[in-house]
Structure 1
Amino acid sequence: MNALPRLVALALFAWTPLAHAADLDGASLSAAWAIPFAGLLLSIALLPLLVPALWHHHFGKITAVWALAFLLPFAQRFGLPLTGATLVHAALAEYLPFIILLCALFTVAGGIHLRGNFHGSPGFNTGLMAVGAVLASFMGTTGASMLLVRPLIRANDHRRRNAHVFVFFIFIVANAGGSLTPLGDPPLFLGFLQGVSFFWTVRTLLPETLFIVGALLAVFWLVDRHFDAQEGAPRRDPTPDAPRFAIEGRANLALLGVIVALVLMSGTWKPGVVFDVAGTPVGLPQLLRDAGLLAVIAASLKLTPRRVHEDNQFGWAPMAEVAKLFAGIFVTIAPVLAMLKAGSAGAFAPVVAAVTGADGQPIPAMYFWATGVLSAFLDNAPTYLVFFNLAGGDAQVLMTRLAPVLAAISAGSVFMGAMSYIGNAPNLMVKAIAEDRGVKMPSFFGYMGWSCAILLPLFALMTLIWFR
């Protein structure tokens, strides 16, 4: 089975002149082309619950089957050139930059060990999440999550009921906290590359961010206090830490700075050097950024003492799971995005009609909810880009005359990425790491029970206050 994707890739590229991915006309596609994507999402949602052993051992193969369920019929219908170009575009413009940055943050954060005698009290847990929310906008939701999830696991591994801690950690650190800068969350970084000012998000979304983070911290403290009171006699701490606080693997702190610098460089330096790869433009800054990030990964692995990785129980299983799942997501999402970009001429015309008023002007509240609901399941980065373009795609207009619309798109994509495990990449990574360390995380729908109960009322309040 592992050889099958390679054979298909060879068939697509061997002696075949590729078309341009832009040649894919979403208006010509029926909703049936969304079936592989929907099937993959349902597999992620249901199979770990129904057949956990099968999913754990074969999720990569299942993901590949859904990817082929799109690629093979697509190649037969539209030909190898367009299929190859679509695959190249998904790989070079979306998947590889996404996964390389994610891997760099995962590796560097995994090389930093926070040592100390942490005790998972409601006060400590709430304080750590508040710190994580601040860090998330400067080192990314992935970096902040990977840095703090392991200390949080150690601090709470003596508790009988601790899954709720990591559910709220996903809400706050892996999502809401990353809403203030383009470094915080991939959707905002995509907006930055489209011309949105680096400081526009913090100037515009600060009130909404303070509201959602503050409300979630308050609700979490109450919930954690409730469960902590039910613990009864304390259990023996399975991982007692050293009494003194210390930061080990400090070289990785400098490497985090390098990651930030590389990302900023790729968005601000415009040398005008662009390489055309099968119709996908790849700029020199992107190449240098990705090469630099790969060098950062190598440097982190070289400079981090083995003991730090052992103390962090650092392993590649969570990263491998995310890489395989998102490879399938980025491939199968291609026709879905094309149909959305087709606007009223596409199969998803009702979505376009829902976000536009009778006067033809965009409705901020509908953009907030449409972007948010799709971000919960389609991955928030490409969803942001679709609605950014649906609203006109002109960054200067969106930052000024249509600022409420851009704010709604930004808030919806970042905040509602917390609604499901697949809304934002760090969600799955936190889940995988927590489960690897013995935490009994909720199922896909169990997690959504938490997110609907906690987040939807807060989003409704945000709509009434800011996005009417």
Structure 2
Amino acid sequence: MMASVLRVGGAGVTLSMLAAPAAEAATAIDGAGLSLYWGLPFIGILLSIALFPLLAPSFWHHHYGKIAVVWALAFLVPFAVRDGAGAAAHAVLEVALHEYLPFTILLLSLFTIAGGVRIVGNLHGSPSLNTGILAVGAVLASWMGTTGAAMLLIRPLIRANDNRRHNTHVVIFFIFLVGNIGGALTPLGDPPLFLGFLQGVRFFWTMEALFAPTLLISAILLALFYVIDRYFYVKEGITRDPTPDTNVRLHGGINILLLAGVVGAVLLSGSWQPDVSIDVWGVEIALQNLVRDVILLALAGLSLLLTRRETRAGNGFDWEPIVEVAKLFAGIFVTIVPVIAILRAGAEGSLHDIIALATNAQGGPRDEMYFWLAGLLSGFLDNAPTYLVFFNMAGGDAKALMGPLASTLLAISMGAVYMGALTYIGNAPNFMVKAIAQQAGVRMPSFFGYMAWSVPVLLPIFALVTWLWLL
């Protein structure tokens, strides 16, 4: 059956004067005809995200939106000169409707709903309790997002250990498990996996494929954490937590139901295929995706209406983190367009050397190289666009990547999610957790001080994962 298409355009409906002729003027970008210079804006915005918060934090805080616009224009203006304003407008519209808006709406809904759940009361930070909180957080991360789980549990965990002299390691392992590795089992858990879902990867594919390695890594890290925490706990001779005892309670419980609604909305868009789409100036939006995004926005609105202001205030909730994500990823999704086109060109594109590095003698993918290349770039840049780059480098066909190339998709998914824990800048929750911990008086290490923990702890585990699943 041919898909039904509803067209948006013409008299009375205007997106912009520039976008109106986009469908007629736009042509597919020929990646084989693009040099590496077209990737400079993408590299520039990722390096800006990585370095400005460290080198010029005040300047970055006030101007990150403008910086994102500059890098986006650095691609769009030359592209418009080369291929026409209509083609440039169509490229922006396509990436906005297919990837940027669904991605941002999901993060917004998870951020808003998770920010309405607050755990109050005093816990005592023994090694067994701390290990339990990390384990619970790792499980929650796949269902409420790494950011949501981290924001829910980091403050209670810090309060539980406010009488500990040595508590830095508690936060570091929290970043490892709750901020990154625990989010590997569903597209809700970590942004890279949701991008894969938008590209056609089944919702439960990640759970089926990544369950065993995620369980192994989590078990090793939890056991190692318990040993380290037990050592410091005994060394300190802990007697009693000075914080007064109060009952542990959950505020904003209605948001748990709303989180279940988020899961249902995403599952709906993956299982309901009405074969109807809306055409917006040459860009088709599937009806199920539009319905999903409307439901997610409605659930976020309900969370705001049904959650007491005091609950959000107690969580330190504000909109700045999601505003920053929205502005920066607008620039990222625009500047990544030529990079994806070059990768899709394969051996005929300008990145043929990297493709050759990840290709075996028979012309197939070297899964271990996909894992380490995608992972190391995720650790030092940003894991969501890095996932998208390597997804397209492997062909960009979700059906093939879940079929004969399933081990390659496994490698890309594991690398993007797991190795986001290598640095503070690898995943959004990392810096947020660091800032909250420092504000609470925890002595967090510097950028390279954090890596003095992450490299010796995580890299041997990732080498084991490579040996067990990718060789």
1:419 lines up with 2:422 in the alignment:
yes
**Native 8 Å contact 2:19 2:89 kept in 1:** no
Which position in structure 1 is the counterpart of 2:139? 134
Percentage of matched positions with identical amino acids: 58
Partner of 1:29 in structure 2?
Answer: 34
> Within 2, Cα distance between the matches of 1:405 and 1:203?
15
Change beyond 3 A, Cα 1:75–1:429: farther
**155 and 211 in structure 1: CA distance in 2 versus 1, 3 angstrom threshold:** same
Q: Alignment partner of 1:276: what SS?
A: strand
Measure, in 2, the Cα distance between the counterparts of 1:68 and 1:232. 58
How far did 1:384 drift? 3.5
Structure 1: tracts of 5 or more residues without a match: 1-9
Letter matched to residue 367 of structure 2 = P
* 434-443 vs 246-255, greater mean Cα deviation: 434-443
- Kept in 2, the 8 Å contact 1:45–1:445? The answer is no
Match of 2:179 among 174, 180, 204: 174
Give the CA deviation at 1:308. Answer: 1.0
Aligned partner of 1:18 in structure 2 is 22
Q: 1:270 aligns with which of 268, 273, 284?
A: 273
Would you say 1:333 and 2:336 are equivalent positions? yes
Pair 1:63-2:68 in alignment: yes
Question: Per-residue CA shift, 1:203-259, capped at 9, x if unaligned?
Answer: 33222111211122233334445666677999996xx57611111111111111111
CA distance in 1, matches of 2:124, 2:26: 52
What does residue 355 of structure 2 align with?
A: 352
Q: Which residue of 2 aligns with 1:4?
A: none
Matched residue, 1:206: 211
Deviations 1:339-376 (A, max 9, x none): 22222122211121112111112222122223323333
Q: 1:37 to 1:104 in 2, by over 3 A?
A: same
371-380 or 272-281, which deviates more: 371-380
1:260 positional shift: 0.7
Residue 410 (str. 1) matches residue 422 (str. 2): no
2:82 to 65, 77, 92: 77
1:114 pairs with 2:119: yes
Q: CA deviation at 1:190?
A: 4.1
Supply the AA of the counterpart residue of 1:17.
P
Structure 1 residue 430, shift from structure 2 partner: 3.6
Amino acid at match of 1:351: I
Residue 260 of structure 2 corresponds to residue 257 of structure 1: yes
Distance 2:197 2:244 in 1: 41
Structure-2 residue corresponding to 1:370: 373
* Equivalent of 2:250 in 235, 240, 247: 247
Aligned to 1:50: 55
Separation in 1, partners of 2:384, 2:94: 15
Change (3 A) 1:88 1:170: farther
Greater shift after overlay, 267-276 or 221-230?
A: 221-230
Task: Flag the 1:362–1:435 CA change in 2: closer, same or farther, 3 A.
Answer: same
Alignment match of 2:151 (pick from 142, 146, 149): 146
Query: What is the alpha-carbon distance in structure 2 between the residues aligned to residue 244 and residue 53 of structure 1?
Result: 40
Tell whether the 8 Å contact from 1:107 to 1:301 is kept in structure 2 after alignment. yes
CA contact (8 A) 1:179 1:414 kept: yes
1:12, 1:84 within 8 Å by CA — same for their partners in 2? Answer: no
SS in 1 for 2:285: strand
CA contact (8 A) 2:46 2:382 kept: no
Q: Does the 8 Å CA contact 1:115/1:242 hold for their aligned counterparts?
A: no
- Greater shift, 24-33 or 69-78, is seen at 69-78
Structure 1 consecutive aligned stretches of length 4 or more whose deviation exceeds 6 Å = 229-237
Matched residue pairs, number?
457
Aligned equivalents of 1:178 and 1:312: distance in 2?
A: 21
Cα distance between partner residues in 2 of 1:331 and 1:229: 53
Further displaced range: 148-157 or 168-177: 148-157
2:176 aligned partner, one-letter code? F
Change (3 A) 1:155 1:205: same
CA distance in 1: counterparts of 2:99 and 2:444, whole angstroms: 29
Q: Deviation of residue 403 (structure 1)?
A: 3.1
Aligned to 1:7: none
Instruction: Read off the aligned partner of 1:212 and give its amino acid letter.
Output: I
2:463 is aligned to 460
Q: Counterparts of 1:376 and 1:22 in 2: how far apart (Å)?
A: 35
